Amino acid sequence: MNRLTGKVCVVTGGASGIGRETALAYLREGATVHVLDRDGQGLALLARQYRELHVVEIDITDNEAVSRFHSGLERLDVQFNCAGMVAVGDLNACTPDDWQRSLDLNVTSVYLMMRAAVELMLRQRSGSIINVASVISSIGAAPDRFAYGATKAAVIGMTKSVALDYASANIRCNAICPSAVETPSMTARIEAMPDSAAARQSFDARQPLGRMGTPAEIAELAVYLASDLSGFMTGSELVIDGGAKL
């Protein structure tokens, strides 16, 4: 416990799922935590339950909004970029709108957030940026995930570039690459399918361990990457997938 005492952390996509669990894990570890999301209702519920959190309703694909938020921070030790979307479909099924929305949220928002973070971190000559990518990326493929796989591969590429360019300033950048995780959005997708029981079984079976991951398991890895214990790790793509891509 207290692995993040004194650190200022920013979490995107923090109103639910992996982002929410990570924000709470950072809070438990002693950090000051800013939770960013465009889901105002989810943020309001989170703020009522955990008054210590600083919640901000924001569109992180908006450069001005991202810059304005970061200008209000005196320092930034950890940035956890979790917000994202899953567009379902192969190349032919991927519409221009699917493609653009995927790029905006999965890639452009990460670029904008990292650029703003690095400006702050360079002043203090330290910081840890953690991006949520996926095993569906440059690591491997999955059916009907054309836009998603392309954008998550881009996240890995950006992560490595930032890690190399800013290592001399003691700014680290790593990517977490999960397989299927039992988030509220995943549960909603499964329950909306014609045969939800069969769909759940299929998602579980993708992992040799026989189940999906949990947000808490991803959050624990995010705590490690945020803490000084991972101080010699940068540019890594950490696979946490229950053996899915073995």
Catalytic residues: 148
Task: Give yes or no for a contact between 137 and 160, defined as CB atoms under 8 angstroms apart.
Answer: no
DSSP β-bridge partners for residue 129: 79, 173
* 174: CB partners within 8 A, 6+ apart: 128, 129, 130, 131, 159, 163, 225, 230, 233, 234, 235, 236, 237, 238
* 203 to 222, 224, 237: CA distances (angstroms): 23, 27, 22
Token pair 């993040």 in the structure block, residue: 4
The H-assigned helical ranges of the chain are: 17-28, 40-49, 63-71, 96-102, 109-124, 146-166, 184-191, 196-205, 215-226
* 234: CB partners within 8 A, 6+ apart: 163, 167, 172, 173, 174
Q: DSSP 3-state assignment of 32?
A: strand
What the block records as the tokens of 71 is: 């200008």
DSSP β-bridge partners for residue 239: 177
